[in-house]
Copies of this chain bind each other. A is one copy, B any other.
């Protein structure tokens, strides 16, 4: 981690109070680096930022041939457990003759405020449907059934996860050096920041990936761009940045400070990892890169809220600001 570059600054008054370092890469589908910060070879867990890669076998196997774009968006989602997410995942499971108890992701208190308060007021416990990964897991279950494999689909040796690893390694162009267990109990495969950006660039320009994969990629991209609210939720960075791009770019967050982006029009992929895992920094950094790539306007309120958010005190005064580090931001100079 020694070569991480400062990406984001936190100012209070005229003094720099905190700073966030990290690694970032913008590259094309051949893997050619267009811009990089920190160490492109840094090995990271993509966490949820690679859910679209984990969804590829669902389509490529034929299991998901008939899936609606809404369900495909949910398979790629880190949703906040709102009713719009929970109901759709429940219906998808029911259509498979499965239920919430077949999921292996664990229960999660939803980030969606309305749903959280509803649960509290009705004295209900959050369920596995509320888990931000419940759509991904339902996709895994659907693939497992198609493969006539066991229901223990999160086992790293399970066919579902072996297929995910193969797709992941093909898209990143690198053999994964290993895996860790994600917050949702599924394996999460290691790769480099460059490898993750390369995978996103291949998502952006799948023309050289063969007919089956190209079709799968195009369906997933269209699903995410068609349903930004299902991919994350109200007020969430992924949702708002996709909307702010005029639905021309896909932005996907991952825990511990990861963010990826897919730019189909430019044929570019982006990946970044904030060394300390802080979300305020990964959101600022992805907004900065996407603004420099011309797909976001720094003046758009949804962008400015991440790119240059004020630091306020408890009487509501602005006492500081968060901002991309000057060399990284470079006055917004196009990349």
Interface residues of A (CB under 8 A from B): 1, 6, 10, 12-21, 43-45, 104-108, 131, 177-185, 188, 190, 256-257, 275-278, 281, 313-317, 319-320
Contacts and interface: CB of A to CB of B under 8 A. Distances in A.
A90 B45 CA distance: 49
A322 B281 CA distance: 20
A243 to B, nearest CB: 28
A106 B316 CA distance: 8
B13 A181 contact: yes
Given A12-B181, A19-B276, A278-B278, A314 B106 contact: yes
| Chain A contact residues, majority secondary structure | loop
A15 B190 contact: yes
Contacts of A319: 180-183
A19 B6 contact: no
A1 B19 contact: yes
Given A15-B45, A276-B278, A10 B256 contact: yes
Contact of A17 (B6, B20, B45, B131): B45
Contact of A314 (B19, B43, B184): B184
B44 A313 contact: no
Max count, chain B CB within 10 A of own CB: residue among A15, A179, A188? A15
Given A106-B313, A257-B18, A314-B108, A179 B45 contact: no
A314 B186 CA distance: 11
B45 A277 contact: no
Given A106-B316, A184-B313, A278-B278, 11 more contacts: A12-B45, A15-B177, A15-B180, A15-B190, A17-B180, A18-B257, A18-B277, A106-B315, A180-B319, A185-B317, A276-B276
16 contacts: A1-B16, A10-B277, A12-B180, A12-B181, A18-B257, A18-B275, A20-B276, A21-B21, A104-B315, A181-B313, A181-B319, A182-B319, A185-B315, A276-B276, A276-B278, A278-B278
A286 B176 CA distance: 36
Closest 9 CB pairs of A and B: A106-B314, A13-B180, A12-B180, A276-B276, A106-B315, A18-B277, A181-B319, A183-B313, A1-B19
